[in-house]
Structure 1
Amino acid sequence: MVGLPALVGDVEQFFTRHLGKRPLLRGGAIADVRAIASLDDIDRVITGSGLRAPGVRVVKEGTVIPQDRYTSPSTLGYAGLTDVVDPAKVTRLFLGGATIVLGTVDLLLPRLHELCKKVEMDVGHPVDANIYIAPPGANAFQVHCDAQDILVIQVHGGKRWTLFDHIVPNPGGGRMLPGLDAPSTVYELRSGDVLYVPRGMPHLVRTDTSSSVHVTLSINTLTWADLLTDLTAQIMRSDAYTRPLPMGSDVARQAEPLLKHYADELAARLADSDAAVLHRAIYSRPAFAEGDRAGLLRDALLDAPLPGRQDRIALRPGIWPVIAEQDAMAERPDAQGRGEAVRIEAGGRAFHVAPEVADACRRLLDGGPLPVEALSADPVDGARIAEVLLGLGLCMMSPH
């Protein structure tokens, strides 16, 4: 399966020369686009998945078409749903010149989800995917910029991208920029081409004489504001900051001389945040909750054999476990193993595991795949540790 190197080439050069600075076009980077998303895959999402309106938008010439024009009542699951996408209605709108946008569609396409998680492991920020299905002569959106760095993979037909030599420093949730007057470069994409567009770079996207399907991988960049907000929220839970403000007729006047003390104390505690605190603040975010768990149920159904000494295991792509420090250990009767237990959080779930399991998980997080025999000096214990990590869905077998 392709990952970031297949998309951008030399990853180090991409980070230093292009990320956040300038576009990158790699013609024919993907030899077989079906490995990412085939037309049959996309058709199945729209026509056979019971897709509901929040997962799709239909846009024409800058206007979002109301969802009641492409949904119909459905008795899927006997729930009396009213927002199920009607494939015939969507297709008619497409034939009438509208663009179909499938949002966070990687959750419905396993190969695309795996790609997102592999890219995520390289960039360290959450990654998801949209698919844009456009008819000939389509212009879904006017000149705009995105709040994310994006990697565009053309999987069918062609599309013309006009990129403006300008970076909006704080694009927020994205911005429409009609009438932008700046130098621009046109990039003609064909099937298999990859285009990187920096966060905040204005662009205009059009089809010409052919229909087009492209996948956009969005790197949902976390900001310093995100991190500092989360760290501050953790600190604010301490007793020191739950004390009431002074009482009296002028609370602001009384609070003013105390403010610097509390602000300085907060700044000092933020500056003292260690690696474990930072890891928790970043990777406990909901955006990191959907790791690649493909094959987990299949292996259970097929009663997959236990890992052998020479087998290797690795963390599943997109799994960023938050592991408690040793002083947070506690006696837990439901721990995986004997005696003390360590709490591991991953993907919105929490586990209590034996210390040796937590230590193996920490080593996998720091250093990549490990052979089972390296997990413990005792081969039997190594196999048991691997079995626990595989069973919890934190790890997967890794090729030799």
Structure 2
Amino acid sequence: MPLSDLVDNVPEILTRWPSEPLLFERAPDSFTHLLTLAEVNALVDAHCLAARNVVLLKDGEIIHRDTYVSGDMPRSGAIRAHLDQGGTITLRDLQALKPAVSRLCDEIRQETGCRIHINAYMTPPGGHGLTYHYDPYATLIIQVAGRKAWPLHPPIVQNPMGEHGAFEGRGFTPEERQWLATTPPAQTVTLEPGSVFWLPRGYIHAPYTVGGETSLHLTVALKERTRHWLAERLATEVLAQALVDPALRAEIPPTELLDAPGPAIERARKYLLGALLTLTPDDMTDPVRRMAKGVA
């Protein structure tokens, strides 16, 4: 399934990565080959889901694993009881469980150069997953069954990454929590079967089901290659090449680092600057392409 099966104007998206939410509509049954409610229920009732692939949510919070996991597997009947009580089930890394989703993951990675993982969320009527939060990557939300509303607030952290500004590490300040509690969403987007929603990283959201049907959607996490990622790759390449230089392999006396590291730092800085200046874009074009596709 190429990206064009999910979104419109693929060349424009790949050239100008979206910074605002986008909604695309496909036929209601377009994505049932990826996953269905019946398949999720069958996995739950047949006890086929390992603990590493399951996360339970209720009342906006993640349920502690100790309450439903024994060893490597959920306890018998625990997930079904959770669903019966209105909780949400998350299937993590669905690309490792279903071939059709694995193919989707591979094709999107080849087209975008993004690292990809895909989760599924099944939420009973009247339920919702997490309370307001944001993700450090863009997501494609594929609505498979039922309806789900996505109230959105604009980002408060510009371009969050897993390494900096991520919600899991940062959370919200008291002032931000007050703002969320008193400020209506800037927009609310309701997804129906066949809807595909592009949500840029950083947008604050807290989705919930609408109507009397169970909701099932897939979240395709598009972990973008950032300028920081590219700078790391260039620095790594320079340092790898430096290993052939005996002078760079020489030890630094402890006192030079502990007592007066300034001269050593300056020598290393000058070396890195010189090496980066001699590294041309042509030198790195093919390696960067391979790294972006995850093959190097």
Structure (1 or 2) with the larger CA radius of gyration: 1
**1:266 alignment counterpart:** 272
User: In structure 2, how many angstroms separate the alpha carbons of the residues matched to 1:258 and 1:83?
Assistant: 50
1:221 CA drift (Å): 1.7
- Match of 2:271, SS state, is helix
Query: Within the alignment, does 1:125 sit opposite 2:123 as a pair?
Result: no
Q: How big is each residue's C-alpha offset from its partner over 1:15-50, in whole Å with a ceiling of 9 and x where there is no partner?
A: 456x34101111235642212212233234434463
- Secondary structure of the residue aligned to 1:121 is helix
The counterpart of 2:87, out of the listed 93, 98, 108, is 98
Structure 2 equivalent of residue 189 of structure 1: 191
Where in structure 2 are the equivalents of 1:99-248 lying within 5 Å?
Answer: 99-166=88-155, 168-173=157-162, 174-175=166-167, 176-177=171-172, 178-179=177-178, 180=180, 181=183, 184-209=186-211, 210-237=213-240, 238=243, 239-248=246-255
Structure 1 segments of 4 or more deviating over 6 A?
Answer: none
Task: Give the whole-Å Cα distance in 1 for the aligned partners of 2:39 and 2:275.
Answer: 50
Partner Cα distance (1:282, 1:13) in 2: 19
Contact 1:53 1:85 (C-alpha < 8 Å) held by counterparts: yes
Cα distance in 2 for partners of 1:153, 1:111 equals 14
Query: Does the 8 Å contact 2:153/2:186 carry over to 1?
Result: yes
Give the 3-state SS of the residue equivalent to 1:8 in structure 2: coil
Select which of 63, 66, 70 maps to 1:65: 63
Equivalent residue number for residue 11 of structure 1: 10
When the two structures are superposed, what TM-score results if normalisation uses the length of structure 2? 0.81
Q: CA deviation at 1:61?
A: 1.8
Distance 1:255 1:48 in 2: 62
* Corresponding residue number in structure 2 for 1:255: 261
Question: CA separation in 1, counterparts of 2:123 and 2:57?
Answer: 9
Unpaired runs of 5+ residues, structure 2, are: none
Contact 2:151–2:185 (CA under 8 A) maintained in structure 1: no
How far apart, in 1, do the equivalents of 2:15 and 2:216 lie? 30
Query: What is the deviation of 1:228?
Result: 3.1
Secondary structure class of the residue paired with 2:125? coil
The CA RMSD over aligned residues, in Å, is 2.6
TM-score normalised over the length of structure 1: 0.62
In the alignment, is the contact (CA less than 8 A) between 1:98 and 1:134 conserved in 2? yes
Amino acid at match of 1:124: G
SS at 2:127's partner residue?
A: coil
Read off the aligned partner of 2:100 and give its amino acid letter: R
Query: Equivalents in 2 of 1:236, 1:146: separation in Å?
Result: 32
AA partner of residue 214 (structure 2): S
Partners of 1:216 and 1:223 in 2: CA distance: 21
State how far apart, in whole Å, the 2-side matches of 1:83 and 1:204 are. Answer: 30
C-alpha displacement of 1:280 = 5.5
Deviation at 1:225, TM superposition (A): 2.9
Q: CA deviation at 1:118?
A: 1.1
Partners of 2:190 and 2:5 lie apart in 1 by: 20
Q: 1:42-53 to 2 correspondence within 5 Å?
A: 42-48=40-46, 50-53=48-51
User: Residues 45 and 108 of structure 1 are in contact (CA less than 8 Å); yes or no, is this contact kept in structure 2?
Assistant: no
Aligned residues of 2:139 and 2:200 also touching (Cα < 8 A): yes
Q: CA deviation at 1:243?
A: 2.5
1:303 is matched with which residue?
Answer: none
Distance (Å, rounded) in 2 between the aligned partners of 1:28 and 1:280: 32
Q: Which amino acid aligns with 1:61?
A: D
Identity of aligned residues (%): 26
Rate the CA distance shift 1:45–1:167 in 2: closer, same or farther, 3 A.
farther
Q: Which amino acid aligns with 2:267?
A: H
What is the CA deviation profile of residues 240-282 of structure 1, one whole-angstrom value per residue up to 9, with x for unaligned ones?
443222454x645643134233213213334515224434554
- Match of residue 26 from structure 1: 24
- 1:8 CA displacement: 1.1
Offset, 1:217: 0.5
| Alpha-carbon contact 2:113-2:292 (below 8 Å) kept | no
Higher RCO, Cα 8 Å, sep 6+: 2
The code of the aligned residue for 2:250 comes to R
